[in-house]
Every structure is written in C-alpha cells, then in structure tokens.
Structure 1
Amino acid sequence: MALRFRKSVKILPGVRVNFGLKGASLNVGARGASVSIGKRGTYSNVSIPGTGISFREKISNNSRNERALKQQRLAEQQTTLSVVLNLLDDGNIEYKDENGNFLDKKIVTKIWQQQPDTVKNWLENESDKINDMDLITTIHYDMPKPYNEPQLEELEFDKEMPIEPKIREVKKPSFFKALFFPSSKQKYQVDLDNAKVDFQKQTEQYQSNLQNWEKEKNEFIKAQDELKANFSNLIRTDINTMSEYLEKVLQGLDWARETLVSYDINNLTNTVYIDIDLPEIEDIPQRTATIAATGKKLNIKNKTEKQLRLEYATHIHAIALRVAAYTFATLPSINLIVISGYSQRVDKSTANINDEYLYSVKFNKSDFSKLNFENIELIDPIKAFDNFENIKKMTETGIFKKIEPFQTN
C-alpha cells in the first residue's frame, strides 16, 4: 500500500503597517489624534493607542490661528492606510501601501526610528523562510532504538452518550387571560397533555438508545482488552496488525517534504521491503540568507550546485535511516529491512520522466543497533550506509547515477 506524507506551513505574506496623516506604525488598531496649543506654537499629535508610537509635528507659531483649528479637525478625522513589507530578490525591503504605491521615504525613516526591532524580526522571519532547512539534514535525529517493545495505544470510546430528554415547558395563561379568553385555558391543557405524551415517547427512545450505547461501549472495552492481551503476539505474527501499526507510526511522523512510502511485509523471512519515492533536489532550499550589517536588508546568495547536491544526498540518506529505525521499533519480529529509494528523472533519449533508483540498502537489526543512538547528531547519514550492504553510484560531489535495486524475495 502507498502512504502519502504531507507537511504544509502556512506563512503570513508580510507585516501590516498602519500609518496616519502624520505618522506611521507597525500595528493595526485603534488610532487617536489631537492638537496641542502652547507657548511654543501649535503641534499636531498623532498616536495609536497600545503601540507606543506617536508623532508630533509643529503646525504654526501662532497658537490661535485658523490653520491650527483646521489641522485639529483634520487630525480628528485621521484615517489609517495599510502598508505591506515585501522582500525583493536582492534582499532589500519594498514599502508599499495597499494600492501598490511606494511609501514616502520620510515615513519609512519614521518606521525604522519608532520600531526597528519589529522590522528586524520580520527580516529574521524572511531569512528563516529562505533558509528553511528544518528537517532537511536532521530528519533522522529522532530515530528510536531498534530493540523496542511497541506499546498499544490506549483508545477511548468516543461515541457520545445519549442525552436524557426533558419535558417541554408549557406556559400557563395568566389569571386575566384565562378569565377573558377561556379557550386559552383549554389550549393550555391540550398543550400540556401533548407535552407529556411527547416526553413519554422521547423517554422510551432515550432508554433504548442508552441501552444500545452501553452495549457498544462494553463491546468496545472488551475488544480493547482482548487486543491488549494479544497485542504482543499480533504485532509479531499478524500481517494486518503489523501493517496497520506501521502505517500509523509512519504517518504520525513529521516530514520535511512530501515523501511516498510503499512496503511489503514478509513474515516467513522476517523481512520488510520498502520503496521510497524520494523528494526531488528542487525541494531543497536553493538560497541562503543572513541579516546585513546595516540590519535593514538581507544578504541573499544562491547555493552552489555542489552544496545543493550534498544537502540533497544527506536528506535522502537520512530518510532511509529514519524509516528503518521506526520500522524496527514498530515490528519487533523483523530482522531485515531492505529500503530502495527512487526519484523521477528525465530520460534524455525519449524526454519521458521515469522512476530511477538512487540507492538500495539492506539494514539488518544487529548491525543497525550498533549505531550510537545517544549521539545521533554526530552520525553522517551518507557514511552510515557504509555499515550495511548497499547499492548506489554517488560521486563525492553528490551526483547520483541510476542503479538496479535489491530484488524482493
């Protein structure tokens, strides 16, 4: 069977920046404005409550002229405009309003003066998105030891218990309503009798549903107890149980890129044959980014082809180690795991895209257990293959050539 693994990260497109007629802010929220009149002149004050950002601009030396009043009315009617920060390919920041117009340099300067840490944090996030090496070369760091006794997951009966019914409330007419409208009293009695009849039917249905629920719950608990008692044997001998739990384990892992796995369990030889549709080299981050010395842009560089190939080689070797480790830990009766990894490549003679195997390796449990699981971070996934019988044609610079994998017995 084929398992499909996906990991998606939802990334916000940018930091929203608000600015008013007299200032700018890196937060969206309430806004305020006022005009100060004093001995030194009239000042327009624009602020956004809760952000700590405000701007003060001198309007006039005459504290009581009409211009001050106009500026006050203008400030009181202040509006905010949304601004988006975009990272350019050269690492510089592009500042635009929501209509795609560039911000005035004075506003950009004020943003950096008021909230430099906020913009720098945004730059750091953009840098992390470009580098994005999480789980690329370290995906094998969580490998469990191969000699492991798997534990049955405790499941709870998740069917909701039936809700006990309540009699429908019927409002009794008031004294005066019953006096002047005798029919309301009769209607009340009819509604009351109907409510009792409905309640009786609902109660009978509830009791039937409750009995069925309790029966299902008891059967579920009994099945879980039997499975728990027999799990140690089933996980070693029953193909369906072994396949089900291996699938659950592999699907529960966090994968850096889309990874497809298919497997065949052979109980007679205590062997698992696994084929992995590997990620492509294009899935590896193609660039590196660091914060520039000015702190106001990123230094972005393209990786060399050699660096990309070696990072890709490390990643796909680490995937095999990880899958082998979790398979050994999940299926205690398995002594040999044969993993073959393939990728899609263009056949230059036909221009067709074909599956080409890049490596095939036999992990036996005894040798696999010799890996130092206390210092996994020191293990080089590429060199780790040398401890096992394997087939691959890879140069020192990470170039793979097509191979014929080990055959399924």
Structure 2
Amino acid sequence: MGVRFRKSVKLAPGLRMNFSGSGVSWTVGPRGASLGLGKNGIHLNTGIPGSGFYSRQRIHNAGSISRSSGKAITSVPITVHIDESGIISFLDTNGNPAPESWVTAAQKQQGDAIRGLIQTECDKINAQIEALGQLHHDTPNPLLRPRYQRMSFDNPEPVQPVFIKPGFFAALFKRDRERIERENADKQCSYEKVLQEWECAKHEFEIREANRKQLIEHGIYSDTIAMATFLEDTLQDIVWPKETDVSFDIFDEGKHVFLDVDLPEIEDMPTKTATAPLRGYRLNIKDISPAKIRALYMQHVHGVGFRIIGATFAALPIAEEVTLSGYSQRVDAATAQIHDEYLYSVRVRRADWKMIQFNNLPALDVVEALARFELRRDMSKAAVFKPIEPIIP
C-alpha cells in the first residue's frame, strides 16, 4: 500500500458579494456604494466593512465641480448610495437626504460618473453569478507538467550612507569633529544593521527557492509529503467564489488520491441579479427564480469537483487515479439535526481525463462531463440532490 498521507485544506473565497439591509456590500468594497462630490472633486469611497480600512480615489478634479452655479455642492460633499432594492439616494454628510438643488447639480455635472458607479455595481453583482458557474473554465491541462520558475527577490539591497565630511572649521574644533564622527558612526551602525537584516532575508529567500525547486522538480515525483504540500499550495492559489474545504488522502506512493470536498450550501447561492438602465439613476434588482438558483448550484458544485480533479492531476504528475466525493450539510427532517450528506462521488483515471479538450472548456457541460466517469449521483432534472454513498478507498 505504501505511505498514506491525509491533509485538510480550507479554501477561502476570493470575492464575495451580498445584499444587506444597508445596501450593496462586498468584502473588498464599501458598505453601500458611495461616490463623494465636494469642493475637492469627485471621489470613489471604498473600504472593507468591519476592518477599519478606508480609502478615497479621485475620479474628477475640483474644476468640473466648481463650475456649479450653486455653492452648496462645492462646499458640502454628498454621497450617492445604492440600497438593496437598487434605489439611488443622495445623502449629506449626516446621512440625511440632500437638498433637491444639490441632487440636480450633482446629476447635471457628474451624471456620467454616477451612472458609471451604478454600472460598476451592476457588473459586480452579476460577476459573482458568472464566477460560480464558470469555475471549471480555468482547469489546467494534465499534459502540462509543473515547471519551476524562479521568483525574484524584490527587496533592494540597502545603499551605503553618505557620510558627513568635516569642513575647515570642524577640523579646527575638537567638539565639531567628535560630533561629526558620532553621526557618521551612527549612520554606519544603522547601515550595517539594515544590511544584515537584508542579507538574512535574502538568505532565507534563497533557501525557500531551493526547496521549492527541489519540490517541483523532484519531490512531487517521489515524496508523498512533498506531493501533499504542492497540492495544498495549488488548491490555495485558485480563486474560489465560495468558501470550500478539502481533505485529501495520498497513498500508493502518490498513484491514488482521494478527496473529500465540503461543498457550499444552496443557501449560499446569490438570489439577486441586476441590470443598469441606460437612462435614469437606478439599479434594477430582480430575484432569481428558485429553479435558476438550483441550476446555478448544480453547475457550481460540479464545477468545484471538476476544478479540483483537474488541479490534482496537474499538480501530481504520477497520480493515476483521483476519486472525489462532494458533501453538503443538510437538516434531517425527523430530528432537525444538521449532518453531512454526499451529493456525488466520482472516480477518474488519468487516461480518461486526458480525453477532455481543455482548450475548449467554455463549451463543456460540466454536469455531463463528470457523468463520463465512474459516478455515483442521484439528481433529478430539477437539480434536486438525494444523498448517496460515496466511493471509498
């Protein structure tokens, strides 16, 4: 049987957006999309909710705003806010509705910028839906083996300090000479300390690079622990739309890999879609039908499995067979307890996996693609899953 290795990996999402009571929000943007218009110009306000981090990005300078016929818009900034229903509100610094004259001036002077903000929010809401359904598009070709590419050490070497040269009068007076000597000595001491830290950092970098080179060129072909390390790094590098947990076993000296995937719940799927009209200041928000949500969930959970299988074959060139089982947390109607239920389980051999056209994955039906292999799945045409018994080692 050989050495068996088990590893669990928590894969954090790269981008997640949701609707809250205070408006549109996302993990890399503001709570409520906002555009500030004031005497210093027009700014896009962004921040990470709950983190305390905040930034302002200038979009237009003050010149375009200062042409306003009223002073209010040039002296008191207003914020454009989009709520969860897509309604646009113009607010003053206290969060109260801005006077109609300010709103009229803002729409007249910065209408394109405001509509651009609305379109940006629309695109971000819809981008999540696309990302969930297209996760498998970036699955790597198993014929391309991992290659080591040296990373650069971007920390520049410290520069030798410029020392103070004693002038004519400093040469005559001992106190001045001693002061200059102390300052130069302090500069040299600081330089040597920084240089030593830089040399240590560069030495550690070289060690990490040597280890990474050894891992990619040799370790993943012979060392089970190295295989697990590289597979974990590979899975972590994927941009996951939703949090996904993976546990895996590597055994038979790397020839067989078993993966257990904790899939997102159907309740995690987005329930809203958006459109931005060409005219007016409104973001049209519509509910996604339950049937389309189930279809999106079906597409996503199969895409997760497809992407992980592909990443495993690409990361571990000697793996001959990959078995993946995806489960979800469900409520038992009889006990109201939450427990794991497997939705599907699939065993894939590398020889069969290589038959897929990886240069044309957008044309692939990922749900049907997994059915080409040894698959256990009890799913209705309406994308309703019933629990199954997974394939076991």
Shorter chain as denominator, the TM-score bin is 0.7 to 0.9
User: Aligned pair 1:144/2:140, yes or no?
Assistant: yes
Q: Helix, strand or coil: the match of 1:339?
A: strand
Instruction: Please give the residue correspondences for 1:155-174 in structure 2 after superposition, counting only pairs within 5 Å.
Output: 155=151, 174=169
Deviations 1:174-214, CA, capped at 9 Å, x for gaps = 38x96xxxxx63x5677789899x79x97xx99x979x979
Deviations 1:349-406, CA, capped at 9 Å, x for gaps = 2322222211111111111111121210011111111101111111111111222211
* 2:275 match: 290
* 2:237 match: 252
User: So what's the TM-score if we normalise by structure 1?
Assistant: 0.73
Distance change >3 Å, CA 17–CA 373, structure 1 → 2: same
* 1:309 match: 294
TM-aligned CA deviation for residue 86 of structure 1: 2.0
Deviations 1:92-138, CA, capped at 9 Å, x for gaps = 21222121221233432333333322121111122223323242101
| 1:3/1:261 contact within 8 Å kept | yes
User: So what's the TM-score if we normalise by structure 2?
Assistant: 0.76
* 1:4 match: 10
Instruction: Please give the residue correspondences for 1:26-65 in structure 2 after superposition, counting only pairs within 5 Å.
Output: 27=42, 49-51=62-64, 54-56=67-69
- Aligned residue pairs, count: 353
Unaligned runs of 5+ in 1: 30-47, 58-74, 179-183
Please say which structure displays the higher CA radius of gyration: 1
Q: Helix, strand or coil: the match of 2:133?
A: coil
* 2:49 match: none
**The one of 109, 123, 130 aligned to 2:104:** 109
Q: Which of structure 1's runs of 4+ aligned residues deviate more than 4 A?
A: 155-166, 168-173, 187-196, 212-221, 226-233
**Matching residue's letter, 1:144:** P
> In structure 1, how many angstroms separate the alpha carbons of the residues matched to 2:222 and 2:156?
34
* 2:91 match: 96
> In structure 1, how many angstroms separate the alpha carbons of the residues matched to 2:97 and 2:267?
34
| 2:345/2:376 contact within 8 Å kept | yes
**Matching residue's letter, 1:309:** R
- Tell me whether 128-137 or 319-328 shows the greater mean CA deviation: 128-137
Q: Which has the higher contact order (CA 8 A, sep 6+)?
A: 2
| 1:150/1:329 contact within 8 Å kept | yes
Deviations 1:300-338, CA, capped at 9 Å, x for gaps = 211111110110110110111111111111111111110
Deviations 1:53-108, CA, capped at 9 Å, x for gaps = 62337xxxxxxxxxxxxxxxxx6x99622222222344321222121221233432
* 2:24 match: none
| 2:277/2:283 contact within 8 Å kept | yes
Q: Helix, strand or coil: the match of 2:107?
A: helix
Instruction: Please give the residue correspondences for 1:10-409 in structure 2 after superposition, counting only pairs within 5 Å.
Output: 10-12=28-30, 13-18=32-37, 27=42, 49-51=62-64, 54-56=67-69, 80-131=75-126, 132-155=128-151, 174=169, 185=174, 220=207, 224=210, 228=213, 232-268=217-253, 270-292=255-277, 294-408=279-393
Deviations 1:272-327, CA, capped at 9 Å, x for gaps = 00111112223222111112364322222111111101101101101111111111
> In structure 1, how many angstroms separate the alpha carbons of the residues matched to 2:202 and 2:105?
70
Distance change >3 Å, CA 173–CA 78, structure 1 → 2: farther
Distance change >3 Å, CA 218–CA 285, structure 1 → 2: closer
Q: Helix, strand or coil: the match of 1:84?
A: strand
> In structure 2, how many angstroms separate the alpha carbons of the residues matched to 1:101 and 1:139?
42
Q: Helix, strand or coil: the match of 2:343?
A: strand
Unaligned runs of 5+ in 2: 1-6, 16-26, 45-60
CA RMSD of aligned residues (A): 4.0
**Matching residue's letter, 1:278:** L
